Structure 1
Amino acid sequence: MSKTFTSDPGILKRHIRPHIERPASIRSTNARAMSPSSEDDMLSLPPSFDGRQLRKLRLEAGFTQQQIADAVCLSRETVVAIENNKQSAIDGLKWKTVRNWCLVCKGKVRYETMNTFTKYLVGQVTKK
């Protein structure tokens, strides 16, 4: 059974399914992995993407780098590189990963934080 995630009406609407083997420390009804069926999932982010925005989400949600890495299927070293804006990590970052990162953090961050991040993402899309 699929559900629809919408952080803002009409923005980032995607069908999702539960992630298999999510660590119990970050399991919640809001923490879901995205279905790999969408072509958009494999699109890269623009080089101007700021990984510090993802760090803000992670810190406010109270997750360690290892917990977020496990939840979005990355290594902790890759999370560190993304959060520190290492260009090679940003170049390899996919929309699917950012979306999953948001979904993991969504239930634990303030609405204003998620709304600000969503607006930032929309700005990145319009820069392309």
Structure 2
Amino acid sequence: MQEKEQFLKVQHFLEDVLVLHGVSKNMSQLLFELFPYINPEGHIIINSFLKKEIAEKTKMSKGTIDNTLSKLNEVGLLIRLDRGTYELHPVIHEAKKLLKNKTATMKISYNEQKRKIETD
């Protein structure tokens, strides 16, 4: 139950980030489930064991998780460092502030070519 309460603290922020990147907001729970697996260097090792564990928690199929991870990588929210090794876009880390009952912020800059989303 506590994990559900924690997810609710960050859900709107994660959904907004996803929508701003043109991705379905339904991927927010998967993003949230990655938080505990971030190592001290800021990397996430995503292997078949982790995918299976997340699939059980989220009630998603492993194929859906693979597709979601690919989409997150494609839009730059999950950055591939090496095979199976990723890091989250810095704006996603802002959500952790919400878990500590602090305020999370993001800055959106627009120019003629594109939109840039970043933290302060």
Fold equivalence (TM over 0.5): no
TM-score under structure 1 normalisation? 0.29
Larger RCO (alpha carbons 8 Å, 6+ apart):
1
- Which has the larger Rg? 2
Greater share of residues in strand: 2
TM-score under structure 2 normalisation? 0.30
